[in-house]
Structure 1
Amino acid sequence: MGNFISKLKSLSDKSGNTQAQKSDVSTDGVPPTNGAQQDDELKSAPPPANRSPLQKLSSTLRLPQIADRAAAVANLSYKGRSIYRYKRLWLALFGLAAGGGFAWGYWSLDRTLPSTADIPKFVRRGTLTIKAADGTILQQRGPATRDKLAYKKLPEKLVQAFVASEDHRFYQHSGIDFQSIGRAIAKNVVARDVVEGASTITQQLARIVYLNQEQSLKRKVQEAMMAQKINRELSKEMILERYLNLVYLGSGAYGVGDAAWVFFGKSVNQLTLSETATIAGLPPAPSAYSPLVDLQAAQVRRDIVLARMVQAGYISEAEASAAKAEKLKIKPSTPKKIYSDTPYFTTYVQQQLPKYVSKEVLEEGGLTVDTTLNPKWQKKADSVILGAIRNIGPYEGFGQAAMVVIDPKTGEIRAMVGGDDYKKSQFNRATQAQRQPGSSFKTIVYTTALAAGFSPYDGYLDATYMVDGYKPKNANRKYSGWMSMRDAIAQSVNVIAVKVLIDVGFEPTIKMAKAMGIKSKLLPAYSLALGSSEVNLLEMTNAYATLANKGKFIEAHAIRRIFDRKGRVIYDAKFKAKQAVDIGSVAIITWMLRGVISSGTGQPAALDRPVAGKTGTSENARDLWFIGYIPQLVAGVWLGNDDNQPTGSASATAAELWHNFMVSATKGMKVEKFPELPTIDGRKGTIKAKPVQTNSTSSGFYDPEDTSGSSSGYDGSNPNSSGSGGSSDSYNSGSYSNDNSGSSQYYEPEPSAPSYQAPAAAPAPAPPVNEAPAPPPVVEPAPEPAEPEPPPPPATAPVN
């Protein structure tokens, strides 16, 4: 110890500084406290000129003072030195522990703070934002502004007004303004009340996004730390942008966009300086300062804000005086968020939400929903359907209409029109109306037959026919003799559709309908072939989308993704495709449905590209349908009346509306080909037919006395179906509802459809055994050039 002190004093002497003076030791064992006094003298003394580097180092390290104190400690008794040493040690350890504990606590708490990445995506509780596929907002519900304003689009004076009013040192502090805190404490102590706050804009944003209004020390600490984190990680511009979009400003207005509309009926860019200052004065007491609640209080608060803007240098005294003299013109307006340009679709989306998120999540709100809607197609669909209701409906007797458009490759609903006027009726005729689909259901019957191995060239006799008391009739009350299935669907022949249903069976047909997307209950009745069971437009369009998607069913849906209030994905639509129909059957039924467009009942739907589709008309033209598709898009149209009154129109009108929409939708769209036809000869089915065993049959052949043929008039060439007219109790008359009584309730007319013309010759008697009548001429639609056209074998009569 002595050697160390001697060296220290020697170094001190060499530096030329004042010699340390020895002092008496105090009785309590503590060295004299002249060190501080010497420090002051040292600080006040002018630095000697021409000092050597050693002298400068000695002065900087204060070596003389250290040497004096070390000597004083050395002169203490052992006990005194121990007490002094341990006091200093314990103080040092305590300080170190306290500092380390504070640092560790701060670090630990900082780690638990949420990520600031949530701030740009944050929406308030209770809100619901519905967006189109391109990101445009379709509707917002709850406490949120319709327009999210970017910082660059915020008026400069509006930003300045809020900064001057709420946080004038916003650009200088680090999220917490300690100067404002000290000033607020002093004022509150003097007033013995809380007369001034010190929360910065950054702290208010932290409270909005992450915290609540709880008055506790813990919340205050969290708020302060979060504010500092926000200030470190986000720009001042982003902080202002989010704050001005989220801050509550009274009267149900959240954000400056809402406030401008609610109080003054205008956008933020149209606000005057007086109106801007009025809105900027609202945050401290949104209800008390609301111009809708107390106009005078709002004006007083406005004047305070204007004065602060002058003080901050944002405006001149003259501008402030002019703004104060301006009389506030309040124009209360309903927030724009409650309106929607696509109300049927957005309502449907909200009805679907409970399928994908829990009740608790819905109640908490703050959700953003990305939908599948194509705004351009929706606008065209609205134009087509509403134009038809208002311009064509009065003359053709229909007062309502609906349309659904689906992307068959994804199942996404791209457009939806549910009726004429949502304000008058919220009933969605695209999703809620259960109506008879008429002949449009025949597509499912024929698809089932093809899947069971039937050939499109299989021949059936179109003639008067009765089965178990049920007598189907054709629309024009005429019969054309022998026809192939392909010609029968093109001309929408009712009798043959019923016969095909009998040969393929109720069970396979209903099962096929369900697999293709039909969810409504289907009754096992003969009239099912003619569309007697009620369905809705969405599910029928979905079934046709299965055909357009090469037999793969994807459930039609309107929602792509759902985000929670912090922007996290809580639902992502991933619908798996299920093979409902084999590709061969799809290719054949599509080819047959192309005949409906080229030479059958759907001719008004023709485009400059291959189209497949089917018309449908229920009894007395109460329901008019057309559903058609190209490989990339499927659309369904329904026309009718809510009270189920007959129309004076035809399904050709629905086909024409489909055409008008698709002309616009396909503009610039690549022409794609339908699947190529398979080899039809010797083709095997993928399902098994289960023919209906009827109780009694009127054959319907040309010779009314000949009852030896099959029940349906089928030619017997299908290996999966015997075509037998044998009796069985498995399906008796009581199983078919009231169809089998002979009622014409489910009669399927096609009033506008050109009927297939029978040969000019009179009906011939039934042919002898092993001899078939010559078939009538077959009207063939022009096939797509690239698709092979198999030669049609002649339709044959049953062999007796």
Structure 2
Amino acid sequence: MKRIIYGILAFGAGGFLGFFSFLLRELPDYRALEYYSPPLSTRIYDIKGRLIDEIYVERRIPVSIKEIPDTLIYAFIAVEDRDFYRHWGINLKAIIRAAIKNIIKRRIVQGGSTITQQLARNLFLTPEKSFIRKLMEALLAIKIERHYSKEEILEMYLNQIYFGAGNYGVEAASRYYFGKSVKELTLPECALLAGIPKGPAYYSPYRDSIRAKRRRNVVLHAMVEAGYITEERAEKAMRAPLGVVSREEKKPPPGPYFLKEVKRELVSLFGKEYLTKGFSVYTTMDMDLQRVVDSLVEVHLQRIERWYHIKPKSEYPDSLIGKEMTPYLQAAVVVMEPDSGFVLAMVGGRDIRHSQFNRAIQGRRQPGSSFKVFLYTAALDNGFNPSDLILDAPIIEQIQDKIYAPANFDSSFLGWIPLRKALALSRNTASLRLVKEVGVFTVIDYARRLGIRSPLQPVLSLPLGSSSVSLLEMVNAFGTIANYGVRVKPVFIKRVVDRYGNEIYHFDYERERVLDERTAYMVINMMKSVFDEGTARYARRLGFKYPAAGKTGTTNDFTDTWFIGFIPGVVCGVWVGFDVPKTIGKNATGASCALPIWVDVMRTMVDTSEVQDFPEPPGIVRRYICTETGLLATPYCPKVREEVFIEGNEPVEKCYLHGGGKIKERTPIERIEEEWR
């Protein structure tokens, strides 16, 4: 009989040892705490270092134990683990007390876990309530206590616990509930914070303030019983209001499409891990400007809807949310520094909740006459002058089996006009004659140099904007001209710093000269005429008096409207249209739809400082010319203007029509065209 008993005992002991050995093998390695890197929120800042947004899976702001007030530490110890400084990982008295309650209830209702056990569970184990998990938790807690000091355990614990609403750790919780750092908390605030982790949703002061206050007072009583505070201090703290900050519906950060592009670039650089790495991302956004642009777009689109009797966005149902394309009027805006490539503001659409499609970057639309700038740039860089004459008259071309007979916007023709006037008034037929002289492949080459990357079809209508491009491309290309021929890459992220303060990314400052600065200046000077005497003169009527250069664009049937322009130091582009191309309204042009948005955006950039004119580079000369012949003016020329030229390429002949001497010989084609005139 004894042998049987001894055998049973030996078998039981062996089974227990085997089970215990199995548990030890299955225990996570506590030494991983030395390398533990908890998920941290990534914070996005604007160009002035102001916080724009916080991205997180777990919102956590690590703090050292020295930064956490003793009052908060005492509050947690009093309510969670009063014997924390006396036990070695587990509290046998608490375990026995919990076991008795669990046996009575016939289920696990109380755990008796120490702070160290909670840390072990939160970091390494699942939250399920089972005896095996509790045993593993206890064993792991003992190991942790053997290798880490009480202060180290407290620091890890207080940075790890969950406080609700996505907040982990005492610093994130303090900022969320009280709007200040944990080091600034008062006694009643510490007590409230210490009471929340038992049930973050149940004890949330935003969900039930009375319940939260009762829980706070429980913590205060526990602190008295533990000897951390006096009865008098506790009673005074119990009378204090909760002191939590108002949690009204949080306004979304400015520039949602800008932030979407920043996140896309972060994924490209670091993968989706950036969400938990605690990066500080310093962007090029000017938050004040971005807010203004966000607001202006909506104001102006409502104006356009009223003017052209378009069904307003407000009348479309919320069922549109999540659609890529929307039926209501849309717009896109990009504001950029041409010398650095820093994108200061960007609007990719009217409402990112309805559509995450970024019309400033992903959208490809025909740019209309705004593309003509590349034709005139190519012409000036190949020997043409702003004063050279080009014929604005009907033109008929046979392309394969089709007849191509473009007209001007107003269906009129002006005859022989200077290139400056042809660009300023956006004359289609004059531009088509010019592209025949310059060559369509040359135009493509210059568009590529300046920054256009979209496919371009080598057809005669290319300068009229027949190939689709993105707004960001157009702004970048115009920015190259504004930067006097030096192309830069658009930049959204300046630098990224990791949680330890190490810079792990810095943008590449790519600069490449692609155009002679003298040519660029002549193009700028010609584009100024678009404002002063051309299709953008409406800007002057709107009160925009500053030196500016730009170009309007309108596609067939008033479908897409553009304006891209710049002042010294800032380039801005605007597109207005529908996602599914259709007419905005009769006579809806770049000047009537896009230009007013541009004016209001740029006005915010210049009202506080005086804008200087575009500086003239060396190698530019000025001459007075006759606008009828493009030659040097005589005292008898009725229409004279000062014109800019690259030194050595200025005209030397005097006007032959008004007393300048020999009449210039015409080619046969010119004589035929002159007869038509």
TM-score over 0.5 (shorter chain): yes
In structure 2, how many angstroms separate the alpha carbons of the residues matched to 1:435 and 1:461? Answer: 29
Verify the 8 A CA contact 1:513 1:543 in the aligned structure 2: yes
Q: Does 1:674 align with 2:644?
A: no
> In structure 1, what residue type is equivalent to 2:390?
Y
User: What's the TM-score once normalised by structure 2's chain length?
Assistant: 0.69
- Give 1:195's aligned residue: 112
- Give 1:527's aligned residue: 461
Tell me by how many angstroms 1:330 deviates: 12
Relative distance call for 1:245 and 1:638 in structure 2 (3 A) is: farther
In structure 2, how many angstroms separate the alpha carbons of the residues matched to 1:428 and 1:639? Answer: 13
In structure 2, how many angstroms separate the alpha carbons of the residues matched to 1:159 and 1:226? Answer: 12
- Give 2:162's aligned residue: 248
Corresponding residue to 1:181 among 69, 87, 110: 87
279-288 vs 504-513, which moves further: 279-288
Structure 1 counterpart SS, 2:452: coil
> In structure 2, what residue type is equivalent to 1:652?
A
Q: Does 1:404 align with 2:362?
A: no
The structure where strand makes up a greater share of residues is: 2
> In structure 2, what residue type is equivalent to 1:136?
R
In structure 2, how many angstroms separate the alpha carbons of the residues matched to 1:797 and 1:164? Answer: 103
Structure 1 runs not aligned, ≥5 long:
1-109, 170-176, 232-238, 682-757, 760-766, 768-774
In structure 2, how many angstroms separate the alpha carbons of the residues matched to 1:667 and 1:789? Answer: 38
Q: Does 1:638 align with 2:575?
A: yes
Tell me by how many angstroms 1:522 deviates: 1.2
Q: Does 1:651 align with 2:581?
A: no
Structure 2 counterparts to residues 327-338 of structure 1, below 5 A: 336=250
Tell me by how many angstroms 1:160 deviates: 6.6
- Give 1:543's aligned residue: 477
Q: Does 1:624 align with 2:558?
A: no
Q: Does 1:458 align with 2:357?
A: no
Structure 2 counterparts to residues 113-152 of structure 1, below 5 A: 124-125=38-39, 127-145=41-59
Verify the 8 A CA contact 2:89 2:117 in the aligned structure 1: no
Verify the 8 A CA contact 1:349 1:558 in the aligned structure 2: yes
In structure 2, how many angstroms separate the alpha carbons of the residues matched to 1:623 and 1:652? Answer: 12
> In structure 2, what residue type is equivalent to 1:277?
A
In structure 1, how many angstroms separate the alpha carbons of the residues matched to 2:79 and 2:570? Answer: 56
Q: Does 1:799 align with 2:667?
A: yes
Tell me by how many angstroms 1:499 deviates: 1.8
Q: Does 1:471 align with 2:390?
A: no
402-411 vs 621-630, which moves further: 621-630
Verify the 8 A CA contact 1:400 1:639 in the aligned structure 2: yes
Structure 2 counterparts to residues 295-444 of structure 1, below 5 A: 302-311=216-225, 317=231, 320=234, 336=250, 339-357=252-270, 359=271, 361-362=273-274, 365-396=277-308, 399-444=329-374
Relative distance call for 1:529 and 1:777 in structure 2 (3 A) is: farther
> In structure 2, what residue type is equivalent to 1:614?
K
In structure 1, how many angstroms separate the alpha carbons of the residues matched to 2:536 and 2:208? Answer: 65
In structure 2, how many angstroms separate the alpha carbons of the residues matched to 1:324 and 1:564? Answer: 41
Structure 2 counterparts to residues 199-238 of structure 1, below 5 A: 199=116, 216=140, 220=144, 224=148
> Residue deviations 1:240-279, cap 9 Å, x none?
xx987764224533245765798x8x75799998786343
In structure 1, how many angstroms separate the alpha carbons of the residues matched to 2:372 and 2:69? Answer: 62
Corresponding residue to 2:520 among 543, 566, 586: 586
Relative distance call for 1:261 and 1:218 in structure 2 (3 A) is: closer
Tell me by how many angstroms 1:628 deviates: 0.9
472-481 vs 135-144, which moves further: 135-144
- Give 2:193's aligned residue: 279
Aligned residues: 565
> Residue deviations 1:3-32, cap 9 Å, x none?
xxxxxxxxxxxxxxxxxxxxxxxxxxxxxx
Structure 1 counterpart SS, 2:223: helix
Tell me by how many angstroms 1:340 deviates: 2.4
Tell me by how many angstroms 1:216 deviates: 4.5
In structure 2, how many angstroms separate the alpha carbons of the residues matched to 1:186 and 1:492? Answer: 88
In structure 2, how many angstroms separate the alpha carbons of the residues matched to 1:435 and 1:627? Answer: 14
> In structure 2, what residue type is equivalent to 1:505?
G
Tell me by how many angstroms 1:391 deviates: 3.1
Q: Does 1:604 align with 2:528?
A: no
Relative distance call for 1:167 and 1:609 in structure 2 (3 A) is: farther
Verify the 8 A CA contact 1:144 1:255 in the aligned structure 2: no
Structure 2 counterpart SS, 1:348: helix
Structure 2 runs not aligned, ≥5 long:
1-30, 100-110, 125-136, 311-328, 622-626, 630-635, 657-663, 669-677
> In structure 1, what residue type is equivalent to 2:284?
T
> Residue deviations 1:383-439, cap 9 Å, x none?
322211123432135732221100111101001122323333333222222221111
User: What's the TM-score once normalised by structure 1's chain length?
Assistant: 0.59
> In structure 1, what residue type is equivalent to 2:163?
L
- Give 1:72's aligned residue: none
Verify the 8 A CA contact 2:88 2:142 in the aligned structure 1: no
Relative distance call for 1:663 and 1:290 in structure 2 (3 A) is: closer
Structure 2 counterpart SS, 1:356: helix
> In structure 1, what residue type is equivalent to 2:556?
E
Tell me by how many angstroms 1:672 deviates: 4.1
- Give 2:130's aligned residue: none
Structure 1 counterpart SS, 2:583: coil
Relative distance call for 1:651 and 1:604 in structure 2 (3 A) is: same
> Residue deviations 1:692-738, cap 9 Å, x none?
xxxxxxxxxxxxxxxxxxxxxxxxxxxxxxxxxxxxxxxxxxxxxxx
Verify the 8 A CA contact 1:143 1:254 in the aligned structure 2: no
> In structure 2, what residue type is equivalent to 1:366?
G
Coordinate RMSD, CA, aligned? 5.0
Tell me by how many angstroms 1:604 deviates: 3.2
In structure 2, how many angstroms separate the alpha carbons of the residues matched to 1:250 and 1:657? Answer: 43
> In structure 2, what residue type is equivalent to 1:373?
M
Relative distance call for 1:411 and 1:798 in structure 2 (3 A) is: farther
Tell me by how many angstroms 1:548 deviates: 1.1
Tell me by how many angstroms 1:605 deviates: 3.5
369-378 vs 146-155, which moves further: 146-155
Q: Does 1:575 align with 2:509?
A: yes
Percent identity, aligned pairs only?
33
Q: Does 1:663 align with 2:569?
A: no
> In structure 1, what residue type is equivalent to 2:445?
K
